[in-house]
Structure 1
Amino acid sequence: MQAVAPVAPAQPTPPVDDSNTQGASSATDQFGLGFESLLQIVLTQLTYQDPLEPMDNFEFVSQLAQFSQIQQTQEMADSLETLVAAQSTGQAASLLGRTVDVAAGNGSLTGVVTAVAFQNGTPALTIDTEDGNTISGLPLGNVTQIRETP
């Protein structure tokens, strides 16, 4: 039977600045493996380790802790994504009936928010401008000022 060298422990990756991207990346996207796949790697490693030179207990427990941390990070990222979506929905709904300024091109549009639509989970506003036009599909992130409607 051929001996298989143990798999080296996963090295921590530096934090990634996701502030300019929408939504959180899951651990599966970042590492290319889901938690079940990582667990399968550990089981395979145990199955094929050399019985005369077993893996150090400390190293094994360290790997399991890293896999557990990856799973917890993925669950936290999913929860944060849900929280951000709910917060965005609440913010958009609170604008109904209020006068807003929305950045558009080199200027801005002013109008009363009459509707909020959700396109792929992202809120988009519909406003009635002062000159009687209705403009739809304005991103919530483009709102520059909010005022009480007179």
Structure 2
Amino acid sequence: MANSLNTITVDGVTQTVENYQASQTQANKDNSALGKDAFLQLLVTQMKYQDPLDPQDNGEYLAQLAQFSALEQMTNVAEGLGDVSKLVSNIDTSVLVGQLSNMIGKDIQWTVDNKSTDADGNTTTNTTKLEGQVTGVSISDGSPTIVASANGHTYKVAIGDIIRIGEGA
């Protein structure tokens, strides 16, 4: 085997650094940044294979351990922020659905865009106004929509398409 300083032993298997890196790249599709486990493993490997006659300075190890601790805390904060973001999104959707529920039974007016293509391949958009009554609230594709009835048909109306709410719609 090559120089023992350029090898890594994982789970009893000794590999060259190049082979280990290649296997890790294949195992982990996202290798853009080192994770905390990889950082700690590199630090332990570095300590294991240091030259006993010329050991590394303790200050360097302390600096690396501080970097590891900072990395672990940043990872924990990032995970926590992801959870908070999901919670806020769920609260926003719940509040919006609650507010939209107050519209049930009210008259609304909304627009519908109809696109058509002529024989030459030109696309034209026709905007039609529809009027109806709100019969419910739905969540479609992760966003709340109004369910409205007009002329015997049921429509899912995006909130951004509503023109007018209430009498005279």
Is residue 161 of structure 2 the alignment partner of residue 142 of structure 1?
Answer: yes
Q: How many residues are paired up?
A: 118
Tell me, yes or no, if the aligned pair for 2:135 and 2:148 is still in contact at 8 Å: yes
Name the CA distance, whole Å, in 2 between partners of 1:49 and 1:55: 13
Return the match for 2:44 from 39, 44, 47: 47
Return the match for 2:144 from 119, 123, 127: 123
Residue 102 of structure 1: SS of its match in structure 2? Answer: strand
Name the CA distance, whole Å, in 1 between partners of 2:35 and 2:93: 29
Name the CA distance, whole Å, in 2 between partners of 1:45 and 1:128: 64
Query: What's the counterpart of residue 112 of structure 1?
Result: 133
Return the match for 1:98 from 94, 97, 106: 106
Query: What's the counterpart of residue 16 of structure 2?
Result: none
In our comparison, the structure showing a higher alpha carbon Rg is: 2
RMSD of the TM alignment (CA)?
Answer: 3.2
Gaps of 5+ in 1: 5-31
Matches for 1:34-73 after TM superposition, within 5 Å: 38-50=35-47, 52=56, 53-54=60-61, 56=63, 57-73=65-81
Name the CA distance, whole Å, in 2 between partners of 1:77 and 1:149: 40
Change (3 A) 1:48 1:88: farther
Gaps of 5+ in 2: 8-29, 51-55, 114-126
**Larger RCO of the pair (alpha carbons < 8 Å, separation 6+):** 1
Name the structure with the higher strand share: 2
Tell me, yes or no, if the aligned pair for 2:36 and 2:71 is still in contact at 8 Å: no
